[in-house]
Structure 1
Amino acid sequence: MKVLIATDKPFAKVAVDGIRKEVEAAGYELALLEKYTEKAQLLDAVKDANAIIIRSDIIDAEVLDAAKELKIVVRAGAGYDNVDLDAATAHNVCVMNTPGQNSNAVAELALGMMVYAVRNFYNGTSGTELMGKKLGIHAYGNVGRNVARVAKGFGMEVYAYDAFCPKEVIEKDGVTALDSAEELYKACQFISLHIPATAETKNSINYALLKNMPKGALLVNTARKEVIDEAGLALLMEERADFKYVTDIMPAAHAEFAEKFAGRYFSTPKKMGAQTAEANINAGIAAAKQIVGFLKDGCEKYKVNK
């Protein structure tokens, strides 16, 4: 069996070493495709792969067509919208993610961006503090729970809304559970977004939702670019000079946001949530273990396609 690591943003060497240890201990071969610049390189590399570990790399129908021996793809991370799930199912390929492995890294980034924003992007002027402020967590999964944990350390009042998480699960963490996104956005000066990009959530963070946030509002997006209605957000920021937006997923309209809302907007050049040595190692080794479990024992615990 051949396991391919296909990453245009490579894992750290220690992560690759850990993956290799898991794969070779199971008696499988490990192959590497790192920092590739053309899709043709990926198409060639997958031809004889039985399993693939990826990060933000695109696995679409064309890649699956080329991968005749492929049985499983594991996305090292929580989000998996870079994999065509329907095409994978049609090709009888199992797709998994590695939930929870990047959660602390993303949570620390979200809080770090909050500090950066409330201190006016470290421009030397007087800002505000996080202590005592109301933070709303939109989606209370692995990342949301870590955000709550860190935010409580800052002394913030933490609220959450998650359509799929029981209120008692949220409240046992000392977090106030609210009944709707609308209620969350009305109550909280700060919102940290952790919803996935689905047909239901795309463009759902829109003008109508955001306009009700309290004065001095801050929206932090370490989730997905697609969930933001950029036109609606831009309109709101034009109307409200008190509204700030920070993200680690650069908007399509980045140049417009940077020009119009200087001092109230910040985006990292690339997605940064999982860019820590610890998350890199954790997610990569988890992916390797899941592949071995699937190939040896048929374990499908983290399967995300039907």
Structure 2
Amino acid sequence: MAVVLTTARAFATCEAAKKVLNDAGHEIRIITPDKPLKAEELIPLVKDVDAVIAGLDFITPDVINAAPKLKIIARNGVGYDRVDVTTAKKNNIEVTITPGTNSLSVCELAFSFITGLARKIHVMDTSVCAGSWKRENGIELNGKTIAIFGTGAIGRNLAIRCTAFGMKVLAYDLYQNEELKEKYGVKYYDSMTPLFESADFISLHLPATEQTRNMINKESISKMKKGVYIINTARGDLINNDDLYEALTSGYIGGVGLDAFTEEPFTDSRFFNHKNVILTPHTGAFTQDAIVKTLVMAAQDVVRVLDGNKPLHSVSQ
């Protein structure tokens, strides 16, 4: 029997994922933090565990080195920039992700931001609840241009939905999707600049890397159309918050929808109650459907590794 630590907040209520581990005879230790755990919080929890099913926790070299029995870190999602994969490899620890399980959920939240900002639904909801009856002039999506940065599973699904609404879709990705080009008319560019210059909406679906961190900054904003809407359901590090706020308050940016932040919970009160801002608590993948698919896939790879087999969704090979 191995010990599996789970820090993904939804695991406590996911009976299907629990069953995968229980049927394999493993002990489950469930932690339900209200925010991603930092290294100093994780270290005392991992000392005798064989596997971790992790949320957005910071799994640093110190955490990994504090867990001599650890064989697998299974990320509950597709992003793994908070896991030190290099140290994991050195310690013969597998790092896995759950590709495709929550892509529709995140895509649909991004599209909800697009429609919500376009029609200023959040502003009118507040108005009606306050006893007012003020209408807001919105815009139609038909004929508008959206720039999608990253056309993996999430960005691909978003592109398909945007074309169905009559939007022109521009895309940036190191790996171009031939189906999107041929079937849906998506136009790819090798540079980000044409997308910044042409877009009415920008939606971010890239990992946080040395090349993408702070990609939304004063310089890139200066290339954008006045009134552009920016949606981020990927990583908070993609946006420079100071530059974004400055452009919002000046009215240069028309509005933003944010589900990912540099610090979580998000405490930058400058963005609170701003009529052109919609904020959600990193909830893109948080649907009943996605939770079950994601946690079951993570648990299945844990069982494979603890049985001495290779995982199906490793990023550390």
Q: Do the structures match in fold with TM over 0.5? A: yes
SS in 2 for 1:285: helix
Residue 266 of structure 1, CA deviation = 2.7
The total of aligned residue pairs comes to 300
Q: Any conservation in 2 of the 1:12–1:277 contact (CA below 8 Å)?
A: no
For 1:211, which of 218, 222, 247 is the aligned residue?
A: 222
For 2:297, which of 282, 286, 289 is the aligned residue?
A: 286
Structure 2 counterpart of 1:32: 30
Deviation track 1:241-297 (CA, whole Å, cap 9, x = no partner) reads: 4532220124668323447xx2222322x2111111111111100101112233335
Structure 2 counterpart of 1:78: 78
SS in 2 for 1:266: strand
Residue 104 of structure 1, CA deviation = 0.6
Distance in 2 of aligned mates of 1:255 and 1:78 = 29
Structure 2 counterpart of 1:135: 146
Deviates more, 1:246-255 or 1:38-47: 38-47
Deviation track 1:60-117 (CA, whole Å, cap 9, x = no partner) reads: 2332233221110000101112212223223221111111111011111001111221
Deviation track 1:216-256 (CA, whole Å, cap 9, x = no partner) reads: 31010111111112233234334444532220124668323
Distance in 2 of aligned mates of 1:301 and 1:286 = 9
Structure 1 counterpart of 2:176: 166
Residue 125 of structure 1, CA deviation = 1.5
The amino acid of 2:258's aligned partner reads T
**Structure 2 unaligned residues grouped into runs of 5+:** 125-134
- Judged with a 3 Å threshold, the aligned counterparts in structure 2 of structure 1 residues 166 and 127 are, in CA distance, closer, same or farther, namely closer
Q: 2:124 aligned with 1:115, yes or no?
A: no
The amino acid of 2:114's aligned partner reads M
Distance in 1 of aligned mates of 2:71 and 2:308 = 13
Distance in 2 of aligned mates of 1:209 and 1:195 = 16
SS in 2 for 1:69: coil
Distance in 2 of aligned mates of 1:12 and 1:136 = 37
Distance in 2 of aligned mates of 1:9 and 1:238 = 35
For 1:152, which of 147, 163, 171 is the aligned residue?
A: 163
SS in 2 for 1:10: helix
Residue 41 of structure 1, CA deviation = 6.7
- Judged with a 3 Å threshold, the aligned counterparts in structure 2 of structure 1 residues 3 and 183 are, in CA distance, closer, same or farther, namely farther
Structure 1 counterpart of 2:127: none
Deviates more, 1:204-213 or 1:189-198: 204-213
> Identity of paired residues, percent?
33
- Judged with a 3 Å threshold, the aligned counterparts in structure 2 of structure 1 residues 41 and 204 are, in CA distance, closer, same or farther, namely closer
**Structure 1 unaligned residues grouped into runs of 5+:** none
For 1:255, which of 269, 279, 287 is the aligned residue?
A: 269
Deviation track 1:196-221 (CA, whole Å, cap 9, x = no partner) reads: 01122111222222222234310101
Give the alignment of 1:231-246 within 5 angstroms: 231-246=242-257
Structure 1 counterpart of 2:129: none
Distance in 2 of aligned mates of 1:81 and 1:139 = 16
Structure 1 counterpart of 2:276: 264
Q: Any conservation in 1 of the 2:118–2:138 contact (CA below 8 Å)?
A: yes
Deviation track 1:35-61 (CA, whole Å, cap 9, x = no partner) reads: 389877744442322111111222223
Residue 119 of structure 1, CA deviation = 1.7
Q: Any conservation in 1 of the 2:5–2:49 contact (CA below 8 Å)?
A: no
Q: CA RMSD in A?
A: 2.5
Structure 2 counterpart of 1:178: 188
Structure 1 counterpart of 2:87: 87
Structure 1 counterpart of 2:128: none
Structure 2 counterpart of 1:63: 63
SS in 2 for 1:34: coil
Distance in 2 of aligned mates of 1:184 and 1:47 = 47
